Amino acid sequence: MININENFLNLQDSYLFSTIAKKVSEYQQKNPDKKIIKLGIGDVTLPVVDEVRTAMKQAVDEMGKKETFKGYGPEQGYDFLREKIVECEYKNRGITIEKDEIFVSDGAKCDTGNIGDIFSAENRVAITDPVYPVYLDTNVMAGRSGLYKESDGKYSNIVYMPCTAENNFEPELPSEKVDIIYLCFPNNPTGTILNKNQLKKWVEYAKENKSIILYDAAYEAFITENEIPHSIYEIEGAKEVAIEFKSYSKTAGFTGIRCGYVVVPKELKGYTKQGEEVSINKLWNRRQCTKFNGVSYITQKGAEAIYSEEGQKQIKANIQYYLENAKIIVEGLNSIGLKTYGGVNAPYVWLKLPEGVKSWEFFDKLLEEVGVVGTPGVGFGPSGEGYFRLTAFGNRENTIEAIERIKKWDFSKK
Ligand code: MLT
């Protein structure tokens, strides 16, 4: 008899974005003539930039010639891309990261989900609330979460760090000792940021408690304000306590191409039960060599192309376009008296719903009465109740139309 991993039975319903997609598709089937505007999942809409496509086409041609054909590449990524990352993402910001600390991958969702493989199931995990659901669900799967409690919508062994308007979306240091801390800044879903002093507290906490910070910086390219850290390694000592996750998905429109990378500094140590130090970099390398065969050469050539002068110009223009969408959303919602957060250093706008309005109720009404799809805040955790996320990744015309529709919507009907 084959026994299953029963931790999976402890997961709640389906994955958030699948639930939304299902609801929208059911509604669309019943209302085939209605134009629905999707500002739900954070998926890019602008086409892949010329520099990337040209590089990928050349790589395809190389694959077609005997002399330049490539089979399996290095599991950790090709040197040409790892060197560009070292130079352009870190050295240019005054951060020393070595090539063998970079692990190229198929994106931050997989990396943040897979990283748990190398940590004991007994670790205590802290997540912000609301949170990107992958961090929580993968810990449920791994058996770190304890049981789900209907009473408060939380898992018994997870430490939730509420991030709401009341605390300016800054998670408080946990009062109990935690081992693994997930932080994502600029934040998904709230679009808010932490400044250097705020981030420094976390690095200090992690050092004191021998914890690890899993820092998801997938939205770093959207930072517009000065002094906001683009990498956790801008904080002194962070290389001893943090893994950083980066992605080309939102930075360069790679949601469909798939490419990202993880930085695992060699200073970073984990511990055996006996307290012996073990290199996390070595463990991750071992895990990747066993379970991963690397990202395709064609994809990595595409990723490398974003670091050319022209590539930078092209991807920055796209980021600017999405930030302009965010501005349209923020200004439009604010003009009808709705309070919003985020949207300045991030492609997400976090809308505070009027008193008493629940996130899923708002989702249903917005879909049925306005034909606009967003993401209910509570889908990201109990502290997201009463909030709603809109993404700036739509196209300009649809973004304007969605906001115009919301502005005309009779809110008293809610
Ligand atoms: C989101 O909408 O939160 C993101 O698109 C999810 C992801 O990047 O996997």
Per-residue pLDDT tens digits for 20-61: 999 999 999 999 999 999 999 999 999 999 999 999 999 999
Q: What atom of ligand 1 comes closest to residue 255's alpha carbon?
A: 8
Per-residue pLDDT tens digits for 108-149: 999 999 999 999 999 999 999 999 999 999 999 999 999 999
The CA-atom distances, in angstroms, between 329 and each of 228, 326, 385, 406 are 23, 5, 20, 10
pLDDT at 412 over 60: no
Residues 378-404: what's their mean pLDDT? 97
> What are the chain's domains?
11-47+310-407 (3.90.1150.10), 52-308 (3.40.640.10)
Rg of the chain taking only CA atoms, in angstroms = 22
Ligand 1 near 109 CB (within 6 A): yes
Q: Is the pTM of this model over 0.85?
A: yes
Min mean pLDDT across 15-19, 109-113, 401-405 is at 15-19
pLDDT tier for residue 355 given thresholds of 50, 70 and 90: very high
pLDDT at 414: 52
pLDDT tier for residue 321 given thresholds of 50, 70 and 90: very high
Collapse the DSSP code of 154 into the 3-class scheme (helix H, G, I; strand E, B; otherwise coil) and give the result: strand
pLDDT tier for residue 14 given thresholds of 50, 70 and 90: confident
Q: What atom of ligand 1 comes closest to residue 134's alpha carbon?
A: 9
**Cα(92)–Cα(86) distance, integer angstroms:** 9
pLDDT tier for residue 15 given thresholds of 50, 70 and 90: confident
Residues 163-191: what's their mean pLDDT? 97
Ligand 1 near 184 CB (within 6 A): no
The β-bridge partners of 348 are 391
Q: Residue whose CA is closest, atom 3 of ligand 1? A: 42
Per-residue pLDDT tens digits for 251-274: 999 999 999 999 999 999 999 999
Task: Say if strands 372-373 and 37-38 run parallel, antiparallel, or are unpaired.
Answer: parallel
pLDDT at 288 over 90: yes
pLDDT at 309: 98
Query: Which residue from 24, 39, 112, 132 has its CB within 8 A of the most atoms of ligand 1, so it is best to mutate?
Result: 132
